[in-house]
Amino acid sequence: MTKAASAAAKDLAAAGVSGVHVAWADNNGIPRSRIVPITGLADAATRGVGTTSLFAVFDSHDAITYGHSGLATPSGDIRLVPVIDRLRRLAGQPALAWAPGRQLAADGSPWPYCQRGVLERQVAEADRRGLEFRAGYEMEFAVAPAGSADIVSAPGHPGPAYSPHALIGLDEFVAGLLHDFDANGLRIGQLHAEYGLAQLELSLGVTDPVSAADDQLLARQTIHAAAHAHGLVVSFAPMIGSGTAGNGWHLHTSVRRKGRNLLAGEGLPGEDGAAYLGGLLRDLPALTAITAPSVPSTMRLRPGFFAGAYAFWGVENREAPLRYVPGSSLLGTDHANVELKTSDASANPYLALAVVLAAGMAGIADGVVPPEPIAQDPGTWSAGERETRGVARLPEDPAAQDAALLASSRVAGVLGDELLGAFRAVRASDAAWAEGKSADEIIAAHLWRY
């Protein structure tokens, strides 16, 4: 690795790169980084750079909570190690490069709070079971002129939704974005003006789970830099205003055994694919506590906004938190996947994928049989109809989220006791911060955090 790091550092230095962002995402989905000078890259790849262990207990507002017994004092240091095979020069910040970081204990052993490590463990578990996952994120974000206090008072495009005209004023930004994505080694399926106020969306190419999470972090860096270069600012926050559509970061996954996509089928998945879906549905409230964990996340998951408010699944149902996307003769059976809509930028992408993999694998192992798919929006039904059909509301506040998380040892157990403790302490700190604040105050405080 040192050899690869030295060679990469030499090439990057010759190309004018002077430093490398070693980046990770914390328990609030907020990206953090340390810049290593290019001359120090090889050393960092071997020994890491020092950073505080307290990042595991930062809340969404940069407050440090000492509410978790494992990290209850200001003492402690870990090593942040760049992953050299994911090192990229940043097209939008050409004097800098970027690499995701692994968080290791000071002696170089695995650190239980490393979110990337948690996902690596689930991928290894999948491998042991003869399963292989593919994953990709859709990213929605809102845009405003640089310096805007918020999006609602200064929307960066006028709509109409999905209109090519909406983006004419953003032509240079969009072109810059497409260029930088390509140069940074990120594939995207498509980009468009989304339904929400001043909203855009792009979908990242599908890849293995760890790369999908790495890519999601790199994509954020790429979008922020392109926006800055074009006099704009973007918000990835789950909510940009109380009355407008939220920013969902829908997570698409599929699972293969011996190269065969288990979700493939004639309009519906086969037995194992159905069990995968059933596993996700069985644990959906607990999953959502990890994949849409912030206070604004609970505001986003309202009925009627295509964000997922009730626990059910459907075939191509845009209101379903679990949307089964079948393959077709045009797309091929391999296209089949499940979209999780209760997912947003306030989730740590590694943890989000780790719990999805675990819940889905448990579903396959237990042969879970999901209920019939639902084609309607249960939000339009009476409470009695929902009860008869077994369709429950997803957790609507932090206390309900925490209870849902604890109620599933399958999901909570993925994090391990230490990280689970830190994660819950951070959520409690966020909840205490939000206590007594208005929806607008809460939304404003999260708007530029991701």
Kindly report each contact of residues 304-307 with a partner whose C-beta sits within 8 Å and lies 24 or more positions away, as own/partner: 304/377, 304/379, 305/245, 305/246, 306/195, 306/245, 306/248, 306/341, 307/245, 307/246, 307/248, 307/341, 307/342
Q: How far is CA 108 from CA 78, 80, 81, 181, 198, in A?
A: 9, 10, 9, 33, 45
Find the shortest distance in angstroms from Cβ 195 to Mg ion: 7
User: Any contact of residue 201 with Mg ion (CB under 5 A)?
Assistant: yes
Task: Count CB atoms within 10 A of the CB of residue 13.
Answer: 14
Which one of the spans 73-81, 194-202, 236-244, 431-439 is the region binding Mg ion (CB under 5 A)? Answer: 194-202
Distance separating alpha carbons of residues 424 and 76, to the nearest angstrom: 20
Find the shortest distance in angstroms from Cβ 377 to Mg ion: 16
Which residue number, 166 or 307, has a Cβ lying nearer to ligand GLU? 307
Task: Identify whether the C-beta of residue 370 lies closer than 8 Å to the C-beta of residue 271.
Answer: no
245 binds, among Mg ion, ligand GLU, none (CB under 5 to 8 A by kind): ligand GLU
User: Any contact of residue 137 with ligand GLU (CB under 6 A)?
Assistant: no
Cis peptide before 398 (omega within 30 of 0): no
Which residue number, 193 or 274, has a Cβ lying nearer to ligand GLU? 193
Q: Binder to ligand GLU among 68, 89, 220, 300 (CB under 6 A)? A: 300
User: Any contact of residue 29 with ligand GLU (CB under 6 A)?
Assistant: no
User: Any contact of residue 140 with ligand GLU (CB under 6 A)?
Assistant: yes
User: Any contact of residue 431 with ligand GLU (CB under 6 A)?
Assistant: no
Task: Count CB atoms within 10 A of the CB of residue 146.
Answer: 12
Distance separating alpha carbons of residues 350 and 210, to the nearest angstrom: 7
341 binds, among ligand GLU, Mg ion, none (CB under 5 to 8 A by kind): ligand GLU
Q: Is 361 helix (H, G, I), strand (E, B) or coil?
A: helix
Distance separating alpha carbons of residues 202 and 248, to the nearest angstrom: 11
With helix as H, strand as E and coil as C, how does 40-107 read? HHHHHHHHCEEEEHHHHHECCCCCECCCCHHHCCCCCEEEEEECHHHCEECCCCCCEEEEEEEEECCC
Task: Identify whether the C-beta of residue 113 lies closer than 8 Å to the C-beta of residue 53.
Answer: yes
Distance separating alpha carbons of residues 34 and 50, to the nearest angstrom: 9
CA 218 and chain centroid, separation: 12
Beta-carbon contacts of residue 274 (< 8 Å; ≥ 6 apart) = 268, 369, 370
Distance separating alpha carbons of residues 308 and 289, to the nearest angstrom: 13
Which residue number, 8 or 142, has a Cβ lying nearer to ligand GLU? 142
Distance separating alpha carbons of residues 423 and 326, to the nearest angstrom: 35
User: Any contact of residue 318 with ligand GLU (CB under 6 A)?
Assistant: yes
User: Any contact of residue 217 with ligand GLU (CB under 6 A)?
Assistant: no
Which one of the spans 68-76, 240-248, 285-293, 437-445 is the region binding ligand GLU (CB under 6 A)? Answer: 240-248
Find the shortest distance in angstroms from Cβ 219 to ligand GLU: 17
Which residue number, 51 or 244, has a Cβ lying nearer to ligand GLU? 244
Interacting positions 180-199 with ligand GLU (CB under 6 A): 195-196
Which residue number, 272 or 377, has a Cβ lying nearer to ligand GLU? 377
Q: Which residue is nearest to ligand GLU (CB)?
A: 248
Which residue number, 233 or 237, has a Cβ lying nearer to ligand GLU? 237
Which residue number, 236 or 276, has a Cβ lying nearer to ligand GLU? 236
Task: Identify whether the C-beta of residue 213 lies closer than 8 Å to the C-beta of residue 116.
Answer: yes
User: Any contact of residue 296 with ligand GLU (CB under 6 A)?
Assistant: no
Which one of the spans 123-131, 201-209, 251-259, 315-323 is the region binding Mg ion (CB under 5 A)? Answer: 201-209
305 binds, among Mg ion, ligand GLU, none (CB under 5 to 8 A by kind): ligand GLU
Virtual torsion, Cα 422, 426, 432, 436, nearest 10 deg: -160
Interacting positions 328-367 with ligand GLU (CB under 6 A): 341
Find the shortest distance in angstroms from Cβ 201 to ligand GLU: 7
Distance separating alpha carbons of residues 92 and 182, to the nearest angstrom: 11
User: Any contact of residue 310 with ligand GLU (CB under 6 A)?
Assistant: no
Q: Binder to ligand GLU among 112, 209, 248, 373 (CB under 6 A)? A: 248
Residues at the site binding ligand GLU, with contacts judged by CB under 6 A: 140, 195-196, 245-246, 248, 300, 305-307, 318, 341
Residues at the site binding Mg ion, with contacts judged by CB under 5 A: 201
